Amino acid sequence: MKRKIFLDLLLAVLTGLLVLCFQQDEQRNSISQLNRNGLSENSLQINQHKKMAVEPLIKSLAASKLTNFQIQFIAKDNPNFSYVYAKGKTNENLPVLSGRTFNTNDYQSEVPFVVLGKNQIENTYQPQSQMYYQYQQQYLAVIGTVGTAQTSAINDHTFISLSPEQPDQNLLTSSFRIVYDPVTLNTAHTKQILKMFQASTATRLIDSSTVKRERQGWFERSGILLTQVILIFTFMVIITWALVYLILVSGRRFQLGGFLRDQLTLKLIGEIALNVLLSTIAGLLVGWQVFQVSHLPIIAGLVGIFDALTIIISYLYMTNSRHYAKLKKAARILYQEQKQE
């Protein structure tokens, strides 16, 4: 009994480690982007632009044929603060904790909205259900919070939406680092942006090695995860095999009572399924709560396949196991004795 409990705990721990491996993979692949406010590897910093008012620039961008981009105006005196304008599709991939991020309607609204990093929530005002963020004598509605369990700049960031319909806020480009993030890089579109901002050059926000790493395929980016998953499932198979063996061996000491030959398989399969399912589900739930991964359905699918295969293979194994044969013989003898009585 103690050995079975020990194996159950090991199986639960390994399932939790599987969740941890996925969390670490997410961190490796996303933390760089989160540390630059969710801007993609396509991002270009607009350099040597002239001092201009932001309001007419936003109206020009809205009226232009340019689409599928976002522009962030990042405060020079506070890198954790950005004004954001976007049009069409974007590369934005922020981890939303509650609410939502900006959408097309927000970029056409007469009032600005706010998305906050989770560490900024303490600076909000919430009289009822709606949360507000005070900025320049205004209370702006917070529509969402973002963040990650890891240490990341995104947890401390404040995003405020811009729109051509908003009144002039007396914002000047000289107060900001301006980053243009198109879904797809296009030389002609970049030249048009430079012309609008009266800027001389645009340089990549990140270095070429980071760009190369972030553009790698899943296998190249997640090769470490794949190796970890294979190793963990190998250990899970070994432990599950030991657990099944113990259950079959302990079956020789069952108090069979009136339990007939055709019920024997169900009894053993039921005990195996109970041990495996409880262990893996417990490990999965604890891992999910502790590590907060976003790929839970994938992990649950892998664990579910493992559990199903374990039960099927256990059934096939039992039909050829010497311990199972002895149990069947014991059940047959008991059944014959009961008939004679």
Residue 157: half-sphere exposure toward Cβ, Cα within 13 Å: 31
Handedness of CA 187, 191, 192, 194 (dihedral sign): positive
Region of residue 321 (phi > 0: left; psi between -120 and 50: alpha; otherwise: beta) = beta
The reported pLDDT for the residue numbered 65 is 92
Q: Are residues 41 and 94 in the same domain?
A: yes
Q: Are residues 230 and 329 in the same domain?
A: yes
Q: Are residues 262 and 323 in the same domain?
A: yes
For residue 319, the enclosing domain spans 2-28+219-340
Name the domain boundary from 144, 179, 205. Answer: 205
Handedness of CA 11, 17, 23, 29 (dihedral sign): negative
Angle between helices 322-340 and 261-291 (to 10 degrees): 130
Q: Are residues 252 and 329 in the same domain?
A: yes
The reported pLDDT for the residue numbered 334 is 52
Torsion of CA 80, 184, 200, 166, to 10 degrees: -50
For the entire predicted model, the pTM comes to: 0.60
Distance, in Å, from the CA atom of 238 to the CA atom of 179, rounded to the nearest integer, reads 52
Task: Pick the closest to residue 122 from 99, 155, 74, 149 (CA basis).
Answer: 155
Q: Are residues 167 and 300 in the same domain?
A: no
**Do the domain assignments include residue 260?**
yes
Count: domains in the chain: 2
**Do the domain assignments include residue 214?**
no
**Do the domain assignments include residue 295?**
yes
**Do the domain assignments include residue 210?**
no
**Do the domain assignments include residue 212?**
no
The reported pLDDT for the residue numbered 340 is 62
pLDDT < 70: residue spans in the chain: 1, 26-35, 206-223, 248-266, 292, 294, 317-341
Q: What ranges in 163-205 are assigned the alpha helix state H?
A: 187-197
Residues contacting 182, CB < 8 A, separation 6+? 42, 44, 68, 69, 189, 190
Q: Are residues 135 and 225 in the same domain?
A: no
Q: Are residues 51 and 154 in the same domain?
A: yes
Q: Are residues 240 and 161 in the same domain?
A: no
Q: Are residues 246 and 187 in the same domain?
A: no
**Do the domain assignments include residue 211?**
no
